[in-house]
Structure formats: C-alpha cells, structure tokens
C-alpha cells in the first residue's frame, strides 16, 4: 500500500510539515510506503495553461502532470495538509488540483453526468488556520469548507473523504498542543495505520 502525503506549506519548520513527517513515519512503521510531495519543495508549477489544456484534450498529458498522476494512481491513501489562506487553498495547491485532476484521469463526463475515476482511495484532509473553529461555525461556513475542499475535489473524483480535521490558532499553539494535535490526527488513521508506535517529537 502507498500513502501519498501532499503538503502545501512553504515553511519546512511549519506544523503542517511536522504533521506530514509524523504521518510518513507512522505509515512506514505499518509497512506502508509513504511519499511526501511538498509542493513548494518540488517546485510544482500550478498554472494550468492553454497549452496544457489542449495537450490534455489530445490525450498527451504534460510530463510534470503525468508524474503526479502516477504517484496519485499508485496511492490508496491520500493525506492533504495545508494552511487556510483566504478561506481556501494556497494557490500552489489549487493549481495542483487544476493541473493534476484532469478530465480523463480523475473523472469523466458521461451522459448521466460526471463520474469519478479514482474510486477505492481514501483521503484525509488537514486544514491549519489562524482563526478559531467556532468563528467559522458561527459564520456557517465550516460545513462549506468540508464540502468545497473535500467533497467537491476528492468526492468528485470518486475518492472517499475519510476525515477532515481543522487546527485552529496554529501559529499561537504551544509545542505540547501541536504534539497533541498530531496524536489526535494519527488516531484518525486507525483503520489504515493500526500500529500505534509513538512517533511525534515535534519541536516547532
Ligand atoms: C495569505 C494568508 C491568508 C490567510 N487566510 C486565512 C484565513 O482565511 N483564515 C484563517 O483562519 N487563517 C488564515 N491565515 C492564517 C493561516 O491559516 C495560518 O497562518 C496557517 O494555518 C498556519 O500557520 P503557520 O503558517 O504559522 O504554520 C492566512 C495566512 C496567510 C499567510
């Protein structure tokens, strides 16, 4: 089994990247291959161009997209870790979805409507944020984040959204709190990562 961990935080010392490492370590401890794709580290090009669109339409996917699609295809479990920026994904992550989840790879349009092509995979989403969870709950948009970030992307492609966690006030959280968040996050993977070796020693 392969676990793809997509991380979209530019700072290698961020909580996001600590969580990515903890998930990779726990996966390997469970004999699951872990692949971390830190989109900044791999310098992912997020701009979907006219040229890309015409190549995709012809069935000749650009090489950098094909590489990401192959990794995605080979992964049964997908973790997505990102900071909430303007209520949404960082641009590099939005561009990853724009360019990698192409028509013909991630979904197809049938006479009965769109059909997801990535069935049998599970996705876990992790959203760090500056605000509190209550603030978004009170505004009535926490549910919208779950829907738009989870179902409208992964669900649309046939991927089961197995969990979506939010981490409030992350920049102001203590190391103890961040470690607690990581333990809680790992707990969400019990069905796919049952072996619970303690792996976190976050000093961020
Ligand atoms: C460009 C930008 C936009 C942001 N927009 C939001 C937002 O809409 N809601 C929110 O709760 N936090 C927002 N934040 C705060 C980040 O979510 C927060 O800094 C991040 O989750 C992780 O913190 P870290 O960068 O200290 O690891 C924003 C931060 C930046 C840099």
Residue (of 23, 161, 170) closest to 85 by Cα position? 170
Whether 10 is in the pocket of ligand 1, judged by its Cβ within 6 Å, is no
Nearest CA to ligand 1 atom 8: 86
Pair 19, 32: CB distance under 8 Å: no
Whether 139 is in the pocket of ligand 1, judged by its Cβ within 6 Å, is no
Ligand 1 atom closest to the Cα of residue 170 is: 23
Q: pLDDT tens-digit profile of 142-197?
A: 999 999 999 999 999 999 999 999 999 999 999 999 999 999 999 999 888 877 66
Percent of the chain at pLDDT > 90 equals: 92
- Can you give the pLDDT at residue 202? 52
81: buried, middle or exposed (CB in 10 Å: 19+, 13-18, 0-12)? Answer: buried
Residue 132 Cα to ligand 1 midpoint, Å, equals 11
Nearest CA to ligand 1 atom 23: 171
Quick one: CATH architecture of 2-187?
A: 3-Layer(aba) Sandwich (3.40)
Edge-to-edge strand order for the sheet containing 122-128?
Answer: 33-38, 2-7, 77-83, 122-128, 160-167
Can you tell me the distance from the alpha carbon of 50 to that of 107, in angstroms, rounded to the nearest whole number? 20
User: What are the extents of the domains in the chain?
Assistant: 2-187
Whether 4 is in the pocket of ligand 1, judged by its Cβ within 6 Å, is no
Q: What is the number of alpha carbons within 13 Å of residue 3 lying toward its C-beta?
A: 23
Q: What is the DSSP letter of 82?
A: E
Confidence of residue 43 (pLDDT cuts 50, 70, 90): very high
């Amino acid at each position: 089994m392969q676990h793809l961990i997509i991380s979209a935080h530019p700072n290698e010392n961020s909580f996001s990247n600590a969580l990515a490492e903890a998930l990779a370590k726990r996966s390997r401890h469970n004999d699951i291959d872990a692949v971390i794709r830190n989109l900044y580290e791999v310098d992912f090009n997020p701009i979907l161009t006219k040229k890309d669109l015409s190549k995709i339409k012809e069935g000749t996917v650009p090489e950098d997209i094909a590489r990401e699609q192959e990794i995605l295809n080979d992964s049964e479990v997908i973790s997505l870790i990102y900071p909430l920026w303007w209520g949404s994904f960082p641009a590099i992550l939005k561009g990853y979805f724009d360019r990698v989840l192409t028509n013909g790879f991630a979904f197809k349009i049938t006479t009965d409507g769109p059909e997801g092509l990535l069935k049998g995979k599970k996705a876990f989403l992790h959203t760090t944020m500056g605000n509190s969870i209550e603030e978004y709950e009170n505004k009535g948009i926490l549910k919208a984040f779950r829907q738009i970030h989870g179902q409208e992307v992964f669900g649309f492609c046939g991927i089961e959204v197995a969990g979506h966690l939010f981490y409030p006030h992350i920049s102001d959280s203590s190391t103890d709190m961040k470690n607690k968040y990581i333990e809680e996050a790992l707990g969400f993977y019990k069905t796919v990562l049952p072996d619970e070796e303690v792996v976190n020693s976050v000093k961020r």
